[in-house]
Amino acid sequence: MNKLDESLLDSLPLFNQLEHAQIRDILNLATTCRFEPGVTVFEEDQVAEYFYLLLDGYIRVIRLTPEGEQIITLHIPSGHLFGIAAALGHSKYPATSVAAAECLCLRWPMQHLTGFLETYAGFSEGVYKTVGKRVADMNNRILELATQQVEQRVANALLRLINQTGRQTDEGIEIDFPITRQDISEMTGSTLHTISRLLSAWEREGTIKSARKKIVVTDPHKLVLHSS
């Protein structure tokens, strides 16, 4: 870990208010870890032993319903913390985290989180902003599920993904990690049949292009119309 240059992190919101010596102290307590796509980093209700900073890749956050069905609640892009159970007042992870693409992370024992929050004002500000944004995102998701039609929910889910992870290509804006129709079903509380029907219709009208584990939004304006 000593080989990781602290200047690689000082532009991240968590670290941009810290001195390089402070970043160095934090890095000295971290270990690196890699996760292949589809690998579970930790599971819901597992004792929260570590928290993570995602350096590269995307993390998919999953909750289980009382009936045991999976709901994808968030996708976390690189540069952000995840697994910060202690900052939420939990001793166990409140959700499952799965690598949506190949991921490179820094990992710290959970007991260090309280020390970082107390010692580094800039770090604590970043953590609490992260917590606030995650709570707001979850509230927005609940509101969508309660008030929107399936078509609107799916369109809004795809718009979020291209805003967070979109990569410009010759065809349009591609979601920058593998995603299946089953994933979209679990993100929107919809059936796989409904997702397949919607995406096929949007592909015929030129709004998207989809292939195996790949979605490109070719006409974002049309997708915005479907979302409202």
Name the 3-class secondary structure at 39: coil
Q: Is pLDDT of 3 > 90?
A: no
Q: Are 88 and 138 in contact (CB under 8 A)?
A: no
Domain ranges within the chain, ordered by starting residue: 6-145, 149-227
In the predicted model, what is the mean pLDDT of the chain? Answer: 91
Give the pLDDT band of residue 9 (cuts 50, 70, 90): confident
Q: Are 185 and 191 in contact (CB under 8 A)?
A: yes
Question: Per residue in 17-76, pLDDT tens?
Answer: 888 899 999 999 999 999 999 999 999 999 999 999 999 999 999 998 888 788 898 899
pLDDT at residue number 11? 82
Give the pLDDT band of residue 108 (cuts 50, 70, 90): very high
What would the two tokens of residue 123 be?
């770090």
Q: Is pLDDT of 129 > 90?
A: no
Share of the chain above pLDDT 70, in %: 99
Give the pLDDT band of residue 185 (cuts 50, 70, 90): very high
Q: Is pLDDT of 95 > 90?
A: yes
Range 6-145 has CATH code 2.60.120.10: yes
What would the two tokens of residue 200 be?
């096929």
DSSP state, 92?
B
Q: Which residue has the higher pLDDT, 129 or 98?
A: 98
Q: Is pLDDT of 221 > 90?
A: yes
pLDDT at residue number 151? 95
Q: Assign domain 149-227 to a CATH class.
A: mainly alpha
Name residues whose C-beta falls within 8 Å of residue 54's C-beta, 6 or more positions apart in sequence.
76, 77, 78, 79, 80, 81, 82, 103, 104, 105
Q: Which residues of 112-125 are buried (b: 16+ CB within 10 A; e: fewer)?
A: bbeebbeebebbbe
pLDDT at residue number 90? 92
Q: Is pLDDT of 85 > 70?
A: yes
Q: Tell me which residue of 96, 108, 98, 99 sits closest to 51, measured CA to CA.
A: 108
pLDDT at residue number 1? 46
Q: Are 171 and 206 in contact (CB under 8 A)?
A: no
